Structure 1
Amino acid sequence: MKKLILSISILASMFTACTSSDDPIIPVFPPALGSGEITGNATANKTYVKGNYTLNGTVKIKSGITLTFDAGSTITADVTNGVDALVIENGGKLVMNGTAAEPIVMTHATKVPGSWGGIIMYGNAPIVGAASVASASAEDGLTNEAGTAYLYGGTNATHNGGTLRYVRVEYAGKKITDGTSEMNGFSFYSVGSGTVLENLVSYKGADDGFEFYGGTVSASNLISYGNFDDSFDWQDGWRGANNSNWYAYQTGTANFGMEVESKSVDNAFWPVVTNITLKRASGTLTENASVEYDAIQFKKQGNGYFSNILISGYTDTNATAVRIQDAATNTGQVSGSKIKLTNVKIDGTTTQFAGVTGVTPVFPVDFYTLSTTATGATITPGAWAVVDGVNLLQ
């Protein structure tokens, strides 16, 4: 009995010594366990444990199938001939629940912009295509098993394509076989409001960082960094109503901070985005080296309500904070009270706005307001927003 009491006493003192330390608790993450190649069509549900995987070719998640990736996983595309992309077909689901400390990273072995196709999701939420059609052929150049272009559009406003949290896509924007169409970092075709998009990074792609083709999905805490075309782009009457904290940094090669259009179709709905930062590094040129570039450009009846906006670095002679590109958009959307920009702070010498040649846009009262205190996006940094030691939010 004395030996038992002594043993218990020793164990208790050891436990007390371990728990009474003032040293901070440093989290220890389990090592990567999974590995292997991801290729072909996904026709059965599967979970990829934390690990390092290779993406080979265009991987399609078929309708009714869910692919899940654990936090901390890295998926590296490395096909040198053909197209690498992760495609979620309408009815399929992609679940990527990374964390701030352990994001899920999709990258390319070469680290060259435009090396692969990124994440492409299709749904059947409402769109307004050209001539007011309710469906359209996708622009990414991919085809289904029948060899025809994917269609997008429908009536399912709550379509659910899965969950993307703390996901970073690097070096996407590949040109496809026709030599002109390009994929984006993230492409959302008629994706519905049941889909979760939070804390996503599109890094150094050769086309847009994020593009929405109609649909009702909303997204928060987005970072578009170093993408060649537009940081954020949408068309087809996208109407996500709960978007917040969008941050763009354009450097090297870039076009617009936000390109807003709606296939030349006037409509009675619009997206809503709060807390936006659009920054452009000195010396950044457009893809065709032109001097016309804008923080926000509205065209083809594009619209939306935007608030708490910080714009910086759009300073060349033909650059502007807000451009209304055509007469129809000026008449239908500006005068029609369908474009609203409030609490806008413009740093430096950026021109306030420009419009159709010879016409200065006249916004209805309180639909365009300036501010000296706008903060723009407020996003919590972490490993998810750090690439090669660089904090993308600084």
Structure 2
Amino acid sequence: MKKLLYAIAVSATIFTGCSKDDDDDTQPTKVPVEGEITGDITSNRTLAYGNYTLKGMVKIQSGVTLTIEAGSTFTADKSNGEDGLVVLNGGKLIANGTADNPIVLTEKSKIAGSWAGIIMYGDAPIVNSSTAVGTQVAISEDGLNLSYGGTNAAHNGGSLKYVRVEYAGQVITTNNKEHNGFSFYSVGNGTVLENLVSYKGNDDGFEFYGGTVSGKNLVSYGNSDDSFDWQDGWRGQDNTNWFAYQTGIGNYGMEVETKGINNNFWPKVTNITLKRATGTQTEAQSEIQLDAIQFKSNGNGDFSNIVIDGYTSQTTPTAFAGGAIQIRDKATYDNQVVGGKIKLTNVKLNNTPLLFISGAAAADFTLNAASFGANWAVTTTATGASLAKGKWATVDGVDLLANL
């Protein structure tokens, strides 16, 4: 296999400050370096605070750590081909920004779907067949055709804090070569995901393909498919403060599935706000994709302190019913709803007149509050996500949390 070139060309870090005659204690201003990152990363590297060009599918190899200093910006250019930042299983990405100095990965044209975003692989458990949980593997749908899955629930892919991905979600072939803002393939709970923003991508904001990792303070803004999506038996247990704002084009606030496997584990998420702006339309006009939360293929979960706002039916260009909760198929209804494995408690509903959608092709079940029993509880006191404003959630002067 032809060896890929890894190159980083940077100028020297420059400091400017006051003269010796100044008697104040003003700190010198650190000037960002300029550079390019491309090819495979085969040895530990630290990228100083700077502005970098991201070229090609940059892959952090197993056993290698890439560290990025706070405030750095990476810019892809779709005219040069497919770009993305990939953390292979065994590799680590340490990208710890701050609220005022986030790490930003963007694209030159500022057009949704222009690059692949951040992709991370691990070997935490997935379910992808009827065999024993923890033994399965699957092949990625990002075109890299990499295997994911395993038994290492504590897999550690690094730490991402105050990181924003913009204009990603490149879709080349649907369900075969497509990307999200953030894609986590069987990532384990040793990985830290905090204060992340997926902004105006062409697919999902965040997608979890199995694994045990959890995400705190996640913002999905203006992504044209689902804001949050998972499959393969993702089971993160420490998720909190999720905010989805859908505007223009958008499908589900959360799409939940488990590849048809009726399992006895599920993720837990607290403090959720799912908001859909007036006039937002579903991406495809061939199926119902308007609901705040959709469950299918035995998807389940424990969700609490939820605010659902603005999920109404669509009249044009195609009339679709939209509401708070959709159950797509009878197996999910029987095994997960009636079986008590979907819990939706402390739910506040605004501008969402239709609560339940029975999405089965045949009318073989009717979803209502009684279907959930004690696992459905509506309130007027739910607060949803709680997030602190700052540069990490501001794009071109627009406060992404203004509608929270």
Taking a change above 3 Å as real, the CA distance of residues 198 and 358 of structure 1, as seen in their structure-2 partners, is same
* Residues 1:140 and 2:148 are matched in the alignment: no
Offset of 1:348 from its aligned partner? 1.6
Q: Aligned partners of 2:353 and 2:31: how far apart in 1?
A: 47
TM-score (norm 2): 0.87
Q: Distance in 2 between matches of 1:136 and 1:316?
A: 36
Question: Compared with structure 1, are the counterparts of its residues 177 and 295 closer, same or farther at alpha carbon in structure 2 (3 Å cutoff)?
Answer: closer
Structure-to-structure mapping, 1:97-136, within 5 angstroms:
97-132=96-131, 134-136=136-138
Per-residue CA deviations over 1:158-182 (Å, capped at 9, x if unaligned) read 0000000000000001123679632
Partner residue of 2:308 out of 308, 311, 319: 311
Q: Percent identity?
A: 61
Q: Do the aligned partners of 1:32 and 1:52 also contact (CA within 8 Å) in 2?
A: no
Question: Do structure 1's residue 50 and structure 2's residue 56 form an aligned pair?
Answer: no
Q: How does 1:366-381 map to 2 (within 5 A)?
A: 366-381=374-389
- Show the counterpart of 2:254: 258
Letter in 2 for 1:243: N
Aligned to 2:235: 239
TM-score by length of 1: 0.89
8 A contact 1:185–1:210 mirrored in 2: yes
Worse-superposed segment, 355-364 or 38-47:
355-364
Is the radius of gyration larger for structure 1 or structure 2? 1
Alignment partner, residue 332 of structure 1: 335
TM superposition shift of 1:54? 0.4
Cα distance in structure 2, aligned partners of 1:232 and 1:217: 14
Give the match for residue 4 of structure 2. Answer: none
Equivalent runs, 1:150-229 vs 2, <5 Å? 150-176=146-172, 181-229=177-225
Q: Distance between the aligned counterparts of 1:79 and 1:324, measured in 2? A: 38
User: C-alpha displacement at 1:352, in angstroms?
Assistant: 1.1
2:3 is aligned to none
- 2:281 corresponds in structure 1 to 285
2:350 counterpart of 1:347: yes
- What's the RMSD between the two structures over aligned residues? 1.8
SS at match of 2:345: strand
Whether the 8 Å contact between 2:112 and 2:167 is mirrored in structure 1 is yes
In structure 2, the CA distance between the partners of 1:295 and 1:177, relative to structure 1 (3 Å rule), is closer
What amino acid does structure 2 have at the position aligned with 1:252?
G
Tell whether 2:70 aligns with 1:71. Answer: yes
Q: How much has 1:81 moved relative to structure 2?
A: 4.0
Distance 1:252 1:52 in 2: 31
- Contact 1:34–1:48 (8 Å) recurs in 2: no
Partner residue in 2 for 1:93: 92
Which segments of 5 or more consecutive residues in structure 2 lack a partner in the other structure?
1-21, 315-320
What 5-or-longer segments of structure 1 have no aligned partner?
A: 1-13, 20-26, 143-148
Give how far 1:353 is off: 1.3
User: What is the CA–CA distance in structure 2 between the aligned matches of 1:29 and 1:392, rounded to whole Å?
Assistant: 31
Change (3 A) 1:40 1:364: same
